[in-house]
Structure 1
Amino acid sequence: MSNINFHSLDYLVEKMRKIGISKRLMVVFSAVILIPMLIIGFFSIQNLSNQNMIRATDSARNGLRNLDADISEQIKVFNDISYRLYLNEELKQLLQECEKINQKNTWTFSDEKQYAENKKKIGDILLSAQKQNPNILNIEIVNDQDEFVGSSSQEFPSAHISDLEQFRASEPYLQAKQSGSLPFWVNTVRQHNIFQLDRGNAYLGQHITHLRAINDQEGNTLGVIVINVSLDVFSALSHSSDVNVSEYHAVLLGDNDVVSYLGSNRNSNLLQLSQTEAKKLLAETQTPSSHVFHGQQYLVTTISCETTDWTLASILLKEEVQKDLYTLTVTLILIAATCLLLSFTMSYLVTISITRPVQRLCTAMKNIEINSDTAGYSDASKDEVGLLGQDFNRMLKRNQELIHRVYTMELEKKEETLLRKQAELDALQMQINPHFLYNTLDIIRWQIIDEEQQDSRASTMLVHFSDLLKLSTRRSQSLVPLSEEIDHIKAYLRVVEFDLDYTIDLQIFLSENALICTLPKLTLQPLVENALIHAFSGCTEHAVLQIMAKETQHDLYIIVRNNGKKIKTDDLEQINQKLQSREREEHHIGLMNVHDRIRLRFGEQYGLRLSQDKDGATEVIIHIPYTPQGEE
């Protein structure tokens, strides 16, 4: 993965170098300036937009609450009028008498007269209630048998329901009968053909309707009070908003339609909502919400009315709410354009400060290519190009020195070749001396055999010593396979066993792969000798010496273990510390010598380390790199 990243980076760098430095710097300066500005601008705009929305929503919601309080106060007036009619015992008595007469199959003249008088009295009571508020267009009582309208006058003309059967079957009438004495309101703004004036064929329009059932003492419905209220009742109401916008609207919604437009801004055009748009607003569960009306986007905030099932909505033109946002956006664009201009200017100046010194340096290089004695680069500046020029001058000076020294070096090489040949001759000469020594030892062995007429202990010892001497003085490379070191150990033990009071059991656990691994010559012999001197001194029992190896992917760990005297833990730690610090002492010269030779050959991470196994046996661990013979 890292290689892929490096290759991608190199590829990108090569592509960028195909573009001029000035263009690269313009891109970098522009990115450094624009990216933070765009990020800051984006979050600033988002934050300002959210703040504007929150402020507009809070202000609209407060205004709607005040408006709802005014509406509740107006509604309460008509609720009180219907409630007083509900409590009017005379009215209830008259309605009960009319109901009894209606229950008769045949009316007498007296019944008809009584019914007409009662109906007129009911009309007078209703007319008296209607006079209490000028916004009442009509007031009447409807039951399943008849319709009782208010007495008509020039100032207060009465009206009647054009289709009583349809009205009695309507949901508002049935709901009023079932709700006991609780009042409720119905949006009848768009219903222009229900309540017909007694004079002419005109109908009541632009009104809302209040309904309340009137019951007797047993709870039986005597009729439903119907009050038609003009929308002018809301004309005096105003929607106050703290948001500084030129267009906002307050709308009273109910029964899936608009009830009334309340206190719209005088400077704005009256927003007309269709019935479909009104249903959509009433179905909206989230507030505030965003809606599009007549091609413009509005911020809508709604609350439920306290005294009715209707909804109050504040509709603000979103463009006006966010006008500060547009000002901020324009400001950020102007700042960005100014910064871009500055970045181009700075990139041009920086480009000149880099390219001109580089061009002078290139010219100096070309001149030296033609004439090596030409003066170098001259620049007093201490920037990177100036330092590069100084390095170039130093390189020129060193080049001259190297040219003058080249002849001397050639002579030294020739002399070194002669010395190497002489060393090879000396090595050949040295090989003759051990050969003479082998012949001499062999002559002594045969002389002893002749005198004693058999192989004695001395002659056998001379044989083993001769073998050991041959292995030690054999001409070979500085690195030998582990198998050769094992042969050397076996020969060494055969010689030293002549002078020991105990036998040594040499146990070798080595794989074929381990035996072909190379290591410095005479690595194991000093360790075995060290064990004989220190671990097995004074030993009279069976001594065990084990040599084993542990292979890893790249390294080999050779373990030389003995069952001799146990080393104290503190002494073991002290020896390991001395090995690491290379502190010399006369008691551990063999260990130090092997450790240093391994480190000099393979590196500081390799060498010797002493430890103890679980039984307390001392282990010398040799750590070397795994290098098979022939791959040194």
Structure 2
Amino acid sequence: MLFIMPFLIVLLLFVTISIIAIQKFVVADINKNNMNLLQQVQQNVELSMHDMAQQSIFFDNNNKAILTIKSLLGENSMNLDKLNAYELITGFISAPANSKPYIDSVYIYIDNPNGQFFSSNVGLVSFDSVVDKSWFGSYKSKDKSVRSWTELRNVKKSSFDKTGTKILSIYQKLDNANGVIVLNILADYFNNTLVSLSSLSKQGIFIVNEQGDIIFSNKSDSNLFTDNQSQINTHASPIFTIDTKSGKYIGCQLISDEYKWKYISLIPQSTLYAMPSKLTKFALTAMIISFIFGFILIYYLTRRNYTQVANIISILSSAEKGLSLPLPPDKIKDEYGYIIHNILKTFIEQSYLKIQLSERKYKLEAMELLALQSQINPHFLFNTLETVSWECMKLMKRPFPEEIWPAKILEVHHTIENLSDILKYSLSNPNENVTLETEINNTKSYVEIQKYRYEDKFDVIWDCDLAAMNCTVMKLFLQPLIENSIYHGIKEKGEAGIIKIKIKRSNQNLKITIIDNGVGIRRRNLMDIRENMKAENEPHQHIGLYNTNKRIKLKYGENYQIKINSKYNFGSAVYIRIPIHLLNG
């Protein structure tokens, strides 16, 4: 997909540039060819007109020929010399008409009293004996300042000719005599020539004289020009566009410097630009097909890639949830197969290492918990046994009344019984979770021993939420904290003290507070205790407090640990928060 989008962008740019090139260069080339065609028409037509120019130049520069013609036109009879001159003039006039298929006839007229003129067809002839004499009226009606002009006439060859022949008469007045040379050209000849030169269907080629009359055309119907003549005349540029009833037409025009004729070509835009339009449509079609194919390919690749990515995400999700993973692919077909193969390989290796690390971590934590718990038992056991030993010695050395002996022996018995319960509780399944009620009962046995040892120097108040009694907790987490309150708070106090244990259930947590009104802790010492608990340094004092805090963090995580507040000569408070949802797990 990464290479398809650049390809489509390049294709779009290529097609856009192609369309611009077609519209700019191909159209310009077509217009140029159309102008070249018009120039070719102009050259062919005006080359034919040179016969008129040659004869005009001959007579204007040959006074003898003019005088000869005048003498022949003024005589009613001829001698041998005049007959030779007559044949010479007639041959000269007839030569172009006989050699050029497009010349119908040539007339030479010089004012004479006999009303005669020379014709290339019949020689010396009078107006009374010919049918075609409308040209003479045109000559007479023209202003003397007009030296040359053209006129499209319908000439009848005889009285029997009903339709006549379209003749273009080109008039050229003589400079050295009162006369005119008239070159009569067959209009159909040039019309057919224009038909043969027009290379496109529906192309109209028109040659218009100074008066705006069509003199030659490849169209029998001149409505295309006459209906739009006013619109054409407004354009001075060589190439222009006009709106006609049948649509847009592209026009080209040239103006003859010699004859002042205007050569005009009119072609339907759809015809002239048919090839550029086809090329443009082809380019657009190719672009659309390429885009459709490209988008289909992109859709296919995107869908395939999406499936592969979804497969990778599924593998990652399964790995995170600890679900079974699929087997790595046998063959790597693409980059996704390579990624999946490496992901599975990595996860398999990581899972194996993770299992090994988890087992090691579990064993280390279990060993650490046992070590911490074992630190508590010998310390307490030593103190209790020492108390029992002293009580026995007191019973042996001091004489007591007989009525007191059973009570004293019973106290020692209860102390040994409580010690037995505590040892049994701590040594049986040390990593087992117990209910809060069980932990409290064991702690009460411990409190009874301590009260016996310190001769009821303190009292313990229990404020427990009954709804929390079924929550499970780790063993022996209350005993070290109460021991800490007794040893570092109540013991140092000169009077009796109170320890209050408050246990409440709050949302998903179990909140435990142990408060004593002992001597408290100095501010500096309190800060050291807090820092050592965070840094987990080896303690020299408050061993039970440190060990219990470490056990809680190992059991429930770093977010759960002991907080302690204290004020010197006022007392101390220890706060514990334990997650209930973990305890119920």
Pick the TM interval, shorter chain.
0.3 to 0.5
TM-score with structure 1 length normalisation?
A: 0.41
